[in-house]
Amino acid sequence: MKTTGEVIGIIANLVTVRTSGPVSQNEICYILMDGGVRLMAEVIKVIGDKAYVQVFESTRGLKGGTRVEFEGHMLEATLGPGILTRIYDGLQNDLKAMEGVFLKRGEYNDPLDYESRWDFTPLATAENQEVRAGDWLGWVPEGWLQHKIMVPFKMEGTYRLKWIAPAGNYKITDTIATVVDADGVEHGLSMVQKWPVKVAVTAFRDKPRPFKTMETGFRAIDTFNPIAEGGTGFIPGPFGAGKTVLQHGISKQANADVIIIAACGERANEVVETFVEFPELDDPRTGRKLMERTTIIANTSNMPVSAREASVYTAMTLGEYYRAMGLKVLLLADSTSRWAQALREMSNRLEELPGQDAFPVDLSAIISNFYARAGFVYLNNGQTGSVTFIGTVSPAGGNLKEPVTESTKKAARCFYALSQARADSKRYPAIDPLESYSKYLEYPEIIGYLDENYGDDWVTKVLASKAMVQRGKEAFEQINILGDDGVPVEYHDRYWKSELLDFIILQQDSFDPTDANCPMERQVYMFNLVMDICGRKFDFADFEACVSYYKRLINELRQMNFSTFESDDFKRHYAAVQDILKEQQN
């Protein structure tokens, strides 16, 4: 029997309910308003017989004494075939199925199509074989992917497989297997399951430290500050510095099987651009549309603040679900600052002790627990899967010392700071090479992987290039203070070597069909070429000769970036580079 209650207090979307029985933290309830409108809410605090719930809708018109029904379960994601290509809100309502331009209060729908039929192929065929949560029972084609049908994550312990459906065409609600528990009780399994979004999925055998990198196609990331497969990173930066554009580029080019985008609190026009652009983008890996392997969770800034918080958890749960299929998942959240603002708003309404800038005192722990759900895992059958998470942070005024950025720094291993100065000077992507870092370059596993695949001294070269950029900045400051003639030519040489690295490696033209996506083979070639040039000693008569020389080199090397790798044009510009270098041979 369901626990019920009645509304006794309302502060915006924080509602206090006097309950008639036990309720639990994060339990879902419905507030039954007049006219048959049911408002979904989540319990966020329980004191005695009072439950404080955050409502996922507007509470306008809500009155004291309104009946409340508790569901006995947490906010859950519905998992099954048909998730890809869909656009959900934070509560996993299918936005395409909603009626009208504006969402109606209290309107909820099914996340999946329960009438569609899927071609099921069994994988587990041995009678009486032992199975447990996360084990693969079969698969259905979802686009070009094999969508694995698994033993539900909620099933604890081991079971004996009694029956599995033969290959055929089924609805997701049809029973496709029967398992027997230790007490001899039979359980029928379908293709669909539910899982609470705020609980990490643990249906895997092991979760080691990441030991290989994920290719994104951006030289400023892959070469300078690589992110691991199953790793975490975040992109802070002021408004207009290119956070959303960079995320879109990564989602298109990254070496991932599934892309999940959580637009948690972004402006509606930016989210609409995602809706419009993604269905039209071609997937360079498959030649099909990128949307076929993408799911979007959209909770814009003008949608309920509490659903904004739910959206990031829903997105992560979907990512963990596809990871359990042995797939590489890339999860992008834009922007986690608005998620943190939602946490702050609810904390303030609960009159909790505020932390810095009125954010919750446990903000750092909340962010760390969420980032920890990403990772590389070994599944029960020995296969591997991963969730790589990259979030964006929108610090007010570009202040990278504010609480959300500082808390995220503690959790994320990669820090891609976008610079307003680089954006203003059209140096895209505007990732600051000195502020940004990748802690994965300190992992012995990652160092071994990079050196093995890209050269014995790859990591040493990367660290040397970072030092070169730093020295170039220092030389530029001296030139600015003392003037071109006031410093030795060596200062100009040092500065222009850092500019060579900047123009050829750090900058990338997203509008150029060749330069927009730079595979690792090409990155290794160009980085080694540039580092070879930067390691040479040149003899210039004066600073003007130095400037002219490096500008010629940069122009030819940029043309190499714009040419198809190892094409005739590419080789022609390479030959021109070699001719310029011969001018300085001693």
Judged against a pLDDT cut of 70, whether residue 302 lies above it is answered with no
Q: 86 in a domain, yes or no?
A: no
CB 433 within 8 A of CB 506: yes
334, 397: one domain = yes
Domain endpoint, select from 47, 74, 101: 74
271, 318: one domain = yes
| pLDDT tens track for 312-329 | 999 999 999 999 999 999
Q: What is the domain-level CATH number for residue 260?
A: 3.40.50.300
**In the chain, how many domains are there?**
4
One-letter-per-residue 3-state SS of 459-475? HHHHHHHHHHHHHHHHH
Q: What is the mean pLDDT of residues 470-482?
A: 96
390, 302: one domain = yes
Q: 144 in a domain, yes or no?
A: yes
Percent over 70 (pLDDT), the chain:
97
Q: What is the mean pLDDT of residues 65-74?
A: 96
| pLDDT tens track for 148-169 | 999 999 999 999 999 999 999 9
> Residue 406 belongs to what domain range?
213-442
403, 362: one domain = yes
Q: 452 in a domain, yes or no?
A: no
Domain endpoint, select from 196, 225, 253: 196
- Please report which confidence band the pLDDT of residue 267 belongs to, taking 50, 70 and 90 as the band edges: low
- Please report which confidence band the pLDDT of residue 245 belongs to, taking 50, 70 and 90 as the band edges: confident
Nearest to 227 by CA among 451, 414, 415, 431: 414
Residue 455, Cβ density class (10 Å: 0-12 exposed, 13-18 middle, ≥19 buried): middle
| pLDDT tens track for 95-117 | 888 776 667 888 889 999 999 99
Q: What is the mean pLDDT of residues 558-574?
A: 97
Four-residue CA torsion sign, 430, 435, 438, 444: positive
411, 305: one domain = yes
Domain endpoint, select from 139, 168, 196: 196
What pLDDT does residue 304 have?
A: 66
Q: 431 in a domain, yes or no?
A: yes
Q: Tell me how far apart the alpha carbons of residues 376 and 433 are, in angstroms, rounded to a whole number.
A: 27
Placement of tokens 């652009």 in the chain: 277
What pLDDT does residue 510 have?
A: 86
Judged against a pLDDT cut of 60, whether residue 285 lies above it is answered with yes
What pLDDT does residue 417 have?
A: 93
- Please report which confidence band the pLDDT of residue 586 belongs to, taking 50, 70 and 90 as the band edges: low
| pLDDT tens track for 506-542 | 999 988 999 999 999 999 999 999 999 999 999 999 9
Q: What is the domain-level CATH number for residue 190?
A: 2.40.50.100
190, 218: one domain = no
- Please report which confidence band the pLDDT of residue 458 belongs to, taking 50, 70 and 90 as the band edges: very high
| pLDDT tens track for 343-355 | 898 888 888 889 9
232, 344: one domain = yes
For Cα atoms 60, 62, 63, give the angle at the middle one, nearest 5 degrees. Answer: 140
68, 125: one domain = no
400, 465: one domain = no
| pLDDT tens track for 356-409 | 999 999 999 999 999 999 999 999 999 999 999 999 998 877 788 899 999 999
| pLDDT tens track for 405-429 | 999 999 999 999 999 999 999 999 9
Four-residue CA torsion sign, 568, 570, 575, 576: positive
What pLDDT does residue 481 have?
A: 95
Amino acid at 350: L
Q: What is the domain-level CATH number for residue 539?
A: 1.10.1140.10
Q: Tell me how far apart the alpha carbons of residues 128 and 157 are, in angstroms, rounded to a whole number.
A: 15
360, 217: one domain = yes
Q: 96 in a domain, yes or no?
A: no
Q: 451 in a domain, yes or no?
A: no
Buried/exposed code over 557-582 (b: 16+ C-beta within 10 A; e: otherwise): bbbbbebeeeeeebeebbebbeebee
Q: How does the average pLDDT of the chain come out, rounded? A: 92
